[in-house]
Structure 1
Amino acid sequence: MSLIEQGHCIPIEDLAAHRQLAWERQSAYVARNSPFFQALWDGRTPPKRLEDLPELPFSDKAGLRLSQPAHPPFGTYLAAAPEKVSRLHRTSGTTGQAMNLAMSARDCEITEVVGGRAQALAGLGPGTMVVHCLNYQMWMGGLTDHLTLERTGATVVPFGVGSTELLVRTILETGITAISCTPSYPTVLERVVAEKFPNLAPADLGLKLGLFGGEPGLDDPAYRQRIRDIWGMEPRNANYGVSDVFCNFAAQCEHESDLHFVAHDVLHVELIDPESGAPKPIESGVEGELVLTHLDRECQPLVRFRTGDIISVQGTGPCACGCAGFRFRVVGRSDDMVVVRGLNMFPTMVAAVVSGFAELSGDYRIVLDTPPPYHTLPVRAELAKGKADDGTLAQRLEATLKARLGATATVTLVPAGTFPATEGKTRRVIRTYT
């Protein structure tokens, strides 16, 4: 634990010896205690050198999903004795079957410190009161993210989801100046303020810092500016993670809009081609699927775990904030990718176009009624409250999507309020076929 508090400020080259020793301990532990990886490796001994990790096969969510129902509640990748489990969480199930997550006391400690690095990087610290508005009902984003906020020294208000009118009153009464929530939640708050507090504007709440996570969308410059204009607060992606691995291991700082990786001392990163699985270098301009390996995990250690997240590396040098981890942006999820005539489309790309139309609320869905292949991208876009279609809006949006993304889209406009106001994660790609 000697490096755990300041590990994100140490260049990865200077962590080489630490990381190698950590892998030797972790790989021996996994080989000895994880029936899941014993079977996956088929008797193979894991390589001693961390750089030889690609000799091992990938693990993925599909394998974990088969393991848990067959061996409840934690699957055969539980590598610790059941009495070692200190906390049980559950994934949100946004991309499929919800999974049980087991954490030992040490797993919790490391998770909270690494997440605290990310929250602090985004600007949270002592003297700030932050209200945490993510679901506490077993989801990692509730309690565990709450504890990462506490690690910064900030005063944390554990509010959760629901009772939005009470939340507005609480912010006004206590002087809360920061909020931790999903990027879509401010829109919910705006509706409540307009309906229940007609004499108030969102900026009157006094929020100065928005710490967002759990959903894509914050990379869109138009959306970030909208948050600034309406709320008077600075939006930061403070909470990027993969629940099966770490709830939070990357965040934006005040100097950069890219995510900073803050966990090189306890997490090994690979980039691969999502189609072939071929390795890709972690260098500026390189895009690939994020693959992660725990270097220090007791309960459910994962090795070469395919996250399904497609990222683009933006830089590898040190940042002015002091973080030495590489910087990246999330392009999208491989399971949310829609291929239209050979072009890879992600929801974040559509969001960047939709948010540029003042007549639209910014909410949308990509509804796929048939299996691929797709010749057009079917987009349902929601009108903003008080706005009407002039008869050309759908055509203008289709033309802009074509010009910006290169793909032909079929746009259907829906009335304001059509899409439910979600306080958790919002699914943008809806597949209705079986």
Structure 2
Amino acid sequence: MSLIDGAEFQPAEALLPAQQEAWTAQRAHVAANSAFYKALWNGAAPPADLRDLPALPLSDKAGLRLSQAAHPPFGDYLAAPRSAANRLHRTSGTTGQAMNLAMSARDSAITGTVGGRCQSSAGLTPDHTVVHCLNYQMWMGGVTDHMTLEATGALVVPFGVGSTELLIRTIQEVGINAISCTPSYPAVLERVLEGMGMKPHNLGLKLGLFGGEPGLDDPALRDRIRETWGMEPRNANYGVSDVFSNFAAQCEHDTRLHYMAADVLWPELIDPETGEPLPIKAGVEGELVLTHLARDCQPLVRFRTGDIIAIDTTEPCQCGRHGFRFRVVGRSDDMVVVRGLNLFPTMVAAVLSGMEALSGDYRIVLDAPPPYDALPITVELAKGRDASDALRAGVEAAMKRNLGATARVTLVPHGTFPVTEGKTKRVLREY
């Protein structure tokens, strides 16, 4: 199946021969069967050595969208007979048109195994009963992430979203001790629990497996979850739906993401502005580019994820895993440039979360195209707090002090923003 048992515990040099062997088969498959890449490469043959991949042009989401529009439902990058696909997913469409994803039985099995590595790294074991609270309605985060949870040997409860009071009763009745959801979902549960006269601690959850949204890099959010719920928050589920639902997670020793798919997914870094290759080494920041080494239905080669990541270290972790460790700085399409400063929602969140008068929820509302002299932020107040000119000025000063950018802050009452069960869009472009 091209997977290597325990690949995440092997050094890069030990994996390279197997990676090259997998690429030999994969490059032949793509070159023979993907009309999309044949056209993109203009008849050129993909290089035999993975390390020469930068000789090929980059592919991106815009190209895939055009492909699916012209060749519905899966695009002409479908490189296997339609009969080979046994699962259809759809992306959330967070950054544009929703995409149809086709997976073969092998694609699904590899995805489940790699995601299982991530969930295990984050602490999920056969001793856990975990409730999965992501949307099962076609989205990759539903049944596919469910399979990654099952790969750990845990007992998995496929709950999905909605019916929050039923969820609370189910957690109590079944003795569930772990939850898989987005980082913003506990706030939804808290409001319902408050209405039921219950405290989050009463539910007995011990492990929170989070993914699908940024935010958990903020120590203040982690501390709040521990204090409010009595459970350990873990960043367990980082992925790119078009590529892999989950291929990176933290471990108990390090909150940074460990890359865990090296045997089946070749990573690169590029400068997001120029597309020039960057080395994967400590201290380098760039856009993550990925190439499938084992994918039947919709193989991607040099695919721009749009995620800007920072490599912190390539040294082995205390947990024994060897994949490089990184942080997600933000998405290239969520980046807002203010007087030459590249700003991401995660950077704004880090400033706001440290202010007691604020709930931590916010929106960056752009009502005109760039350039921008100031960052317009609408910020929600904490429960029971009132707006004042002094508080607004304090938030703007904190933004300037921490990010170097001028902010134009609007304060709104607590509860203004809906608490979502899915992904929360922080940057709203209304022009």
For normalisation by structure 1, the TM-score amounts to 0.98
| Structure 1 residue 149 displacement after superposition | 0.1
- The alignment-based identity, stated in percent, is 71
Question: Aligned to 2:387, which of 371, 389, 392?
Answer: 389
Question: 1:135-158: CA deviations, max 9, x gaps?
Answer: 000000000000100000001010
Question: 1:57-106: CA deviations, max 9, x gaps?
Answer: 00000000000011000000000000000100000000110000000000
| Structure 1 residue 387 displacement after superposition | 2.0
| Structure 1 residue 2 displacement after superposition | 6.7
| Structure 1 residue 3 displacement after superposition | 4.3
| 8 Å CA contact retained: 2:3, 2:264 | no
**Does structure 1 residue 110 correspond to structure 2 residue 115?**
no
The aligned counterpart of 1:274 is 272
Question: How do residues 212-291 of structure 1 correspond to structure 2 at under 5 angstroms?
Answer: 212-291=210-289
The aligned counterpart of 1:181 is 181
Q: How many positions carry a matched residue from both structures? A: 431
The separation in 1 between residues aligned to 2:79 and 2:373, in whole angstroms, is 46
| 8 Å CA contact retained: 1:4, 1:114 | no
Question: How do residues 5-404 of structure 1 correspond to structure 2 at under 5 angstroms?
Answer: 5-195=5-195, 197-198=196-197, 200-404=198-402
| Structure 1 residue 11 displacement after superposition | 1.1
Letter in 2 for 1:150: E
Letter in 2 for 1:76: D
The separation in 2 between residues aligned to 1:202 and 1:423, in whole angstroms, is 17
Question: 1:278-302: CA deviations, max 9, x gaps?
Answer: 1111111100000000000000000
The separation in 2 between residues aligned to 1:377 and 1:152, in whole angstroms, is 43
Letter in 2 for 1:164: T
| 8 Å CA contact retained: 1:273, 1:288 | yes
| 8 Å CA contact retained: 1:5, 1:113 | no
Letter in 1 for 2:312: Q
The separation in 2 between residues aligned to 1:430 and 1:89, in whole angstroms, is 26
| 8 Å CA contact retained: 1:331, 1:346 | yes
| Structure 1 residue 8 displacement after superposition | 1.0
Question: 1:335-363: CA deviations, max 9, x gaps?
Answer: 00000000000000000111111121111
Letter in 1 for 2:349: A
| 8 Å CA contact retained: 2:2, 2:263 | no
The separation in 2 between residues aligned to 1:86 and 1:174, in whole angstroms, is 32
Gaps of 5+ in 1: none
Question: Aligned to 1:408, which of 403, 406, 411?
Answer: 406
| Structure 1 residue 36 displacement after superposition | 0.3
Gaps of 5+ in 2: none
Give SS of 2:124's match. Answer: coil
